[in-house]
Amino acid sequence: MRMDEIGLAESLATAGLDYVGMVATTATYAPPTLVTFARAGGGGEFVCAEEVAYDDPQRVAKLNAAWMRMCTDAGLFDNSHRFLVGVKIEESDDEDPVWWWAEVALMDSWDLAGAGAATGVLGTGAG
């Protein structure tokens, strides 16, 4: 099944992300799945982490604040608060899903750790 861009845009908007569009598959970016493996592999000096207790009643707000701090410190955003997120562009029962980059812009009001994760596009459940 091919990705539904309207559904993707709606799910991202729930998280407070404005869907700008898909990055051309001819772009010379590493695929999101490869970036995930590189990030998980360790070995480098750069470590960016914060801890929030699972039972903290302010967990979602603290996770969102931590995400913003880490992204700002790492220079993730351009001047328009645009950045890339990995999204599934194709899925079937017979093969692993295919992921690629979508360009998004952070809206004035956003909630990646709560509403965004609950949509399934940015995670597997709120908080």
pLDDT tier for residue 127 given thresholds of 50, 70 and 90: low
Enter the pTM of the model.
0.80
Q: Match 């099944």 to its residue by tokens.
A: 1
DSSP 30: P
- pLDDT value for 125: 60
Q: Strand, coil or helix: what is 99?
A: strand
pLDDT, mean over the chain: 83
* Burial class, 52, CB count within 10 angstroms (exposed 0-12 / middle 13-18 / buried 19+): middle
Give the number of other Cβ atoms within 10 Å of residue 25's Cβ.
11
The tens digit of pLDDT for each residue in 15-65 reads 999 999 999 888 888 888 777 666 555 555 556 677 888 898 999 999 999
- pLDDT value for 108: 93
Q: Which residue has better confidence, 35 or 111?
A: 111
